Structure 1
Amino acid sequence: MRIERIEDLRVFDAIARAGNLSAAARQLDVALTLISKRLNRLEKTLGIRLIHRTTRQLYLTEEGLEFLDRCRAVLEAVDAAEDVGADRTQNGVVRVTAAVAFTQRQIAPRLHRFIKAHPGISVQVLSNNRLVDLVEQRVDAAFRQAPLDNGSFVTRTIAPDGEILCASPAYLAECGEPAHPGELIDHRCLTTGDPAPTSWALQRRGEQIHAPVRSVLGSTDGELPHIAALNGAGIVVKSCWDAIDDIRSGRLVRVLPEWWGRSRSLRVMQPVRQHQPRRVQLFIQFMEAELKEAVAANRDLDLFPTTNA
């Protein structure tokens, strides 16, 4: 013998509390015929009569009284388990990863609002420019600015992104501003990569070129050329998300504004899971809303491409 449906136990408990089938049906907001059907099924499964019914009243049999005690113990355990499940999905730790610069400039300044809104959730950030193994590192969500497609993960675009050229006002006052990508070879360029690139891939309304550049400073860490650009060392190519605050403040100025670097989008990647904890969904939804608000608030700077990669 095995009881297949927990709903049958809830019906029996409701009948015992209400004192009759009609009141139990109203309490559970179901049809009276369904109440009767489930009670009959439960008695048939157990092989005992739980309730004696007359035209005016019903009362529990001795077996019914004994079963009611056990039934309520089961229901209390189920409710407690469901409470734990709800609490665990709403609360706990969210593990996210992102590049160092994006973490510092876009995630970190917003975390206080998320933490205040969701005091039961803790955020653990793996800030790393290397691509970490999401499964091995138990990462719930990875924010990526490159077109990484992997069938093992759920990937979704949450905001536009693009590479732009920029330099400090001091550098442009000293060296002038190039009018065409072909003039970049005559400027001090700050590059990322090892070996340092000898050209930058640029595009404009379908036109694509590889503009020769002379790297006066190269680094595998994209933050070093960024800081050097802020101090007037030369022209740098940066993600618009990395440069937006500096351009808004005037510390950097966009160079060759009609031209873009590599096409990109900001994506969030998650391990494939059927039941994603609610806390993870809340964090992703929060970041997506925050970034969309930032895009809308900075439309006047024309830093974001109109189409995603």
Structure 2
Amino acid sequence: MDTLKAIQVFVCIEKNGSLTKAADQLGYSRAMVSRYLEHLENHFSTRLLHRNTRNISLTSAGEKAILYCQNILQQQQLLKELSVEEQYTGTIRLTCGLFILQNGLAKAIQEFQQKYTHIRFDILITEETLDLVESQIDLAFRITTKVADGLISRPLDRVDSVLCAHADYLATSSEIVHPDQLLQHACITHHSMQNTWSLSTHQQQPQNYPIRIVAQSNDAHALHEMCLNKMGIAMLPKVMVERDLKDETLIPVLNHYEPPQLALSVVYSSRRHLPKKTQEFIAFVMDYLKK
């Protein structure tokens, strides 16, 4: 039997002056309380309580033992409180792109820290797909459709994209009505897209169309800036270019073709031994982004 639980039972019996009352308080049967007491007496090789049908009292050994047992439980409580405090201190190391940080994640971190003031963040800004274990990263926030084997991915939010170009670029370029014509246009693309863009219509499944790349980057803000500088057509997150589309600085192209639907996900290497603070932050961000 569990000796620590037996100590808890013994202290509870002494406090209540009754095995029955102790059983009620602990949610055990009276027989179970008796067995725990017997286990403790066998463990210490001494009788701890005088008991008869009407009352109980400590033996001389029990009077000494109760002080030690109370101290053990106090120390256990202090250790438990220390453990809980430690679970909500320290650093969460994460990686994400600047676009993700600016579109909700930074605010979520700020509000999380108002709740857990002893947790701090170490943020590595990149859209590169880093090895989480090798880079000692707790969490990665990525916009993607898939993750590497062995990693766990939790979807957080949908990310819609749009093909667009500066109005001046389109005014001086040939009209584009079909994705096959992308080879005739200057295209600005993310490293993850490689040499093709996947597009679909309501009538057809996604197809990969080759593109003529004039510039590429691993950062969405860099692609946006190049698009604003009239360098060509780019595939960008809708939320990033909403204002540009509204004032018609940027113009959507190939409206009848849809870019792939991506998801913002939080990625981590293992559920086993995931620190409590990291679990809490994942749950917080998932709830925060639903608002």
Shorter-chain TM-score: which interval? 0.7 to 0.9
Structure 2 counterpart of 1:50:
48
TM-score in terms of structure 1 length: 0.78
Distance 1:282 1:6, change over 3 A: same
Distance 1:174 1:32, change over 3 A: farther
Structure 1 counterpart of 2:201:
204
Equivalent residues, number: 286
Mapped to 2, the partners of 1:26 and 1:194 lie a distance apart of: 63
Paired letter, 1:224: A
Question: Per the alignment, in what secondary structure is the counterpart of residue 274 of structure 1?
Answer: coil
Runs of 4+ in 1 over 6 A off after TM superposition: none
- 1:64 aligned to 39, 46, 62, which one? 62
Residue pair 1:149, 1:155 contacting (<8 A) in 2 also:
no
Structure 2 counterpart of 1:154:
152
Alignment RMSD: 3.1
Structure 1 counterpart of 2:126:
128
Displacement of 1:261: 3.5
- 1:246 aligned to 217, 241, 245, which one? 241
Which one is further off, 181-190 or 223-232? 181-190
Structure 2 counterpart of 1:5:
3
Distance 1:268 1:259, change over 3 A: same
Question: Per the alignment, in what secondary structure is the counterpart of residue 57 of structure 2?
Answer: strand
Displacement of 1:8: 0.7
Residue pair 1:202, 1:210 contacting (<8 A) in 2 also:
yes
TM-score in terms of structure 2 length: 0.82
Displacement of 1:123: 2.2
Aligned pairs for 1:67-146 (under 5 A) are 67-146=65-144
Distance 1:173 1:32, change over 3 A: farther
**What's the CA shift string for 1:65-97, capped at 9, x where partnerless?**
111121122111211111122222234322222
- 2:179 aligned to 173, 178, 181, which one? 181
Mapped to 1, the partners of 2:192 and 2:138 lie a distance apart of: 31
Displacement of 1:172: 5.2
Residue pair 2:127, 2:142 contacting (<8 A) in 1 also:
no
Gaps of 5+ in 2: none
**What's the CA shift string for 1:192-224, capped at 9, x where partnerless?**
349984x43322344344434443434454432
Structure 1 counterpart of 2:257:
259
Q: Give % identity.
A: 29
Question: Per the alignment, in what secondary structure is the counterpart of residue 242 of structure 2?
Answer: helix
Mapped to 2, the partners of 1:216 and 1:244 lie a distance apart of: 24
Paired letter, 1:203: S
Paired letter, 2:128: R
Displacement of 1:60: 0.8
Structure 2 counterpart of 1:227:
225
Mapped to 2, the partners of 1:208 and 1:133 lie a distance apart of: 29
